[in-house]
Structure 1
Amino acid sequence: MMSFFSCKISCISPTTILVLTTFVMLLGIAVCSPPEDPIKCSNNRSDCTITNSYGAFPDRTTCRVAEVVYPASEDELIAAVAAATKNNRKVKVATRYSHSIPKLVCPDGEDGLLISTKNLNKIRKVDTMTGTMTVDSGVTLRQLINESAKAGLALPYAPYWWGLTIGGMMATAAHGSSLWGKGSAIHDHVVGLKMISPGHFEDGYVKVRTLNETDVDFDAAKVSLGVLGVISQVTFQVQPIFKRSITYTMKNDSDLGDQALTFGNQHEFADLTWYPSQRRVLYRTDDRVPLTTKGDALNDFTGFRPTLSSALAVIRSLEENQESRADAEGKCVAAILTTSLLRINAFGLTNNGIVFTGYPVVGYQNRLQSSGTCLDSLNDALITACPWDSRVKGEFFHQTTFTIGMSKVKAFIQDVQRLVSLEPKSFCGTEEYNGILMRYVKASTAYLGKEEDGIDFDMTYYRSKDPLAPRLFEDILEELEQMAMFKYGGLPHWGKNRNLAFEGVIKKYKNGGKFIRVKERFDPQGLFSSEWTNQVLGLKEGLSIVKEGCALEGLCICSQDSHCAPNKGYYCQPGRIYKDARVCSSRKEILT
Structure 2
Amino acid sequence: MLSLVVILSALSFLQLGAAGPYNTFDGDGFPACNNVAQVYRPSTISEIQAIVKDASRKGTPVRASGNGHMWYDTMCSDDPNTIIIKTDAVNRISDLVLKDGVGSVVVEAGVTFPQVAEWLHERGASLGYTLVNWNITIAGAMAMGAHRSSLREHSQASSAALAFDIINGNGDLVHIDKDETSDTWLSATTSLGLLGVIARVKMEVLADFKVYANQITLNEAEVLNGDIYAQISPYVTANYWWWPGPKKFHLRTYGVVPITKSGNAFQNTFSVTELEGKLALGLLNGGQNASLPNFITEGIFYALWRTPNFHDKKTNLPLLSWPVHGYAYDVLIGGLYPDQKPEWEYNLRGKTLELAVPVTQANALLKRVRQLFDQAAKDGKPVTSTYRSGINIKFGKPYDSFLGQTTERVGNRTADWSKGAMMFDFPSFLPTTGDHHRYNEEWYGMLAKTLIDEFPVRPHWTKNTRDVFRQSLKNLDPDSLQRFAKVREQFDPKKTFRSVVGEILGVV
**Band the TM-score falls in, shorter-chain normalisation:** 0.7 to 0.9
Q: 1:188 to 1:506 in 2, by over 3 A?
A: farther
Q: 1:235 to 1:115 in 2, by over 3 A?
A: same
Q: Residues 228-243 of structure 1 correspond to what in structure 2 (within 5 A)?
A: 228-243=195-210
Superposed CA deviations along residues 549-579 of structure 1, whole A, max 9, x for unmatched, are xxxxxxxxxxxxxxxxxxxxxxxxxxxxxxx
Q: 1:427 to 1:438 in 2, by over 3 A?
A: farther
Name the aligned partner's letter for residue 284 of structure 2.
E
Which of the numbers 261, 265, 274 marks the counterpart of 2:229? 261
Question: Match of 1:538?
Answer: 506
Question: Match of 1:291?
Answer: 259
Cα drift, residue 138 of structure 1? 0.5
Question: Match of 2:3?
Answer: none
Which of the numbers 428, 452, 455 marks the counterpart of 1:485? 452
Contact 1:245 1:360 in 2 (8 A): yes
Cα drift, residue 48 of structure 1? 5.2
Secondary structure of the equivalent of 2:263?
coil
Question: Match of 1:439?
Answer: 394
- Is 1:176 aligned with 2:148? yes
Q: How far apart are the structure 2 equivalents of 1:196 and 1:467?
A: 45
Secondary structure of the equivalent of 1:246?
strand
Contact 1:335 1:428 in 2 (8 A): no
- Is 1:213 aligned with 2:178? yes
Contact 1:351 1:357 in 2 (8 A): no
Q: 1:86 to 1:159 in 2, by over 3 A?
A: same
Contact 1:174 1:185 in 2 (8 A): yes
Name the aligned partner's letter for residue 337 of structure 1.
I
More off after superposition, 403-412 vs 428-437: 428-437
Secondary structure of the equivalent of 2:426?
strand
- Is 1:414 aligned with 2:385? no
- Is 1:105 aligned with 2:75? yes
Q: How far apart are the structure 2 equivalents of 1:125 and 1:150?
A: 14
Question: Match of 2:310?
Answer: 348
Name the aligned partner's letter for residue 403 of structure 1.
A
Q: Residues 541-556 of structure 1 correspond to what in structure 2 (within 5 A)?
A: none
Superposed CA deviations along residues 376-408 of structure 1, whole A, max 9, x for unmatched, are 77xxxxxx642113xx5x113101111111121
Superposed CA deviations along residues 70-110 of structure 1, whole A, max 9, x for unmatched, are 22112111111111112221111121x32212334334433
Q: Give the gaps of 5 or more residues in structure 2.
A: 1-12, 408-416
Q: How far apart are the structure 2 equivalents of 1:461 and 1:237?
A: 35
- Is 1:519 aligned with 2:488? yes
- Is 1:82 aligned with 2:45? no
Cα drift, residue 352 of structure 1? 7.1
Question: Match of 2:9?
Answer: none
Q: Give the gaps of 5 or more residues in structure 1.
A: 1-40, 200-205, 378-383, 541-592
Q: How far apart are the structure 2 equivalents of 1:154 and 1:42?
A: 34
Q: How far apart are the structure 2 equivalents of 1:47 and 1:475?
A: 34
Q: 1:476 to 1:104 in 2, by over 3 A?
A: closer
Question: Match of 1:10?
Answer: none
Question: Match of 1:304?
Answer: 270
Q: How far apart are the structure 1 equivalents of 2:193 and 2:25?
A: 18
Q: How far apart are the structure 2 equivalents of 1:387 and 1:297?
A: 24
Q: Residues 66-465 of structure 1 correspond to what in structure 2 (within 5 A)?
A: 66-95=37-66, 97-129=67-99, 131-159=103-131, 161-181=133-153, 183-199=154-170, 206-214=171-179, 215-257=182-224, 258-292=226-260, 294-301=261-268, 303-308=269-274, 312-313=277-278, 315-324=280-289, 326=290, 328-344=291-307, 346-350=308-312, 354-373=317-336, 385-389=341-345, 394-423=347-376, 429-449=384-404, 450-451=406-407, 452=417, 453-465=420-432
Secondary structure of the equivalent of 1:419?
helix
Q: 1:80 to 1:173 in 2, by over 3 A?
A: same
Contact 2:148 2:156 in 1 (8 A): yes
Superposed CA deviations along residues 296-333 of structure 1, whole A, max 9, x for unmatched, are 232223x422531x653454244323313x1x222212
Question: Match of 1:583?
Answer: none
More off after superposition, 170-179 vs 103-112: 103-112
Contact 2:165 2:199 in 1 (8 A): yes
Q: 1:311 to 1:285 in 2, by over 3 A?
A: closer
Q: How far apart are the structure 1 equivalents of 2:309 and 2:436?
A: 32
Name the aligned partner's letter for residue 525 of structure 1.
K
Secondary structure of the equivalent of 2:427?
strand
Name the aligned partner's letter for residue 217 of structure 2.
M
RMSD: 2.8
Name the aligned partner's letter for residue 256 of structure 1.
V
Q: 1:466 to 1:441 in 2, by over 3 A?
A: same
Corresponding pairs, count:
474
Cα drift, residue 360 of structure 1? 2.0
Q: 1:465 to 1:513 in 2, by over 3 A?
A: farther
Q: How far apart are the structure 1 equivalents of 2:77 and 2:375?
A: 44
Name the aligned partner's letter for residue 188 of structure 1.
S
Q: 1:403 to 1:62 in 2, by over 3 A?
A: closer
Name the aligned partner's letter for residue 98 of structure 1.
G
Secondary structure of the equivalent of 1:501?
helix
- Is 1:494 aligned with 2:464? no
Contact 1:179 1:441 in 2 (8 A): yes
TM-score normalised by structure 2 residue count: 0.86
Contact 2:128 2:205 in 1 (8 A): yes
Contact 2:45 2:199 in 1 (8 A): yes
Secondary structure of the equivalent of 2:385?
helix
Q: Residues 13-28 of structure 1 correspond to what in structure 2 (within 5 A)?
A: none
Which of the numbers 3, 15, 24 marks the counterpart of 1:52? 24
Contact 2:183 2:487 in 1 (8 A): no
Secondary structure of the equivalent of 1:322?
coil
Q: How far apart are the structure 1 equivalents of 2:83 and 2:177?
A: 29
Q: How far apart are the structure 1 equivalents of 2:123 and 2:61?
A: 40
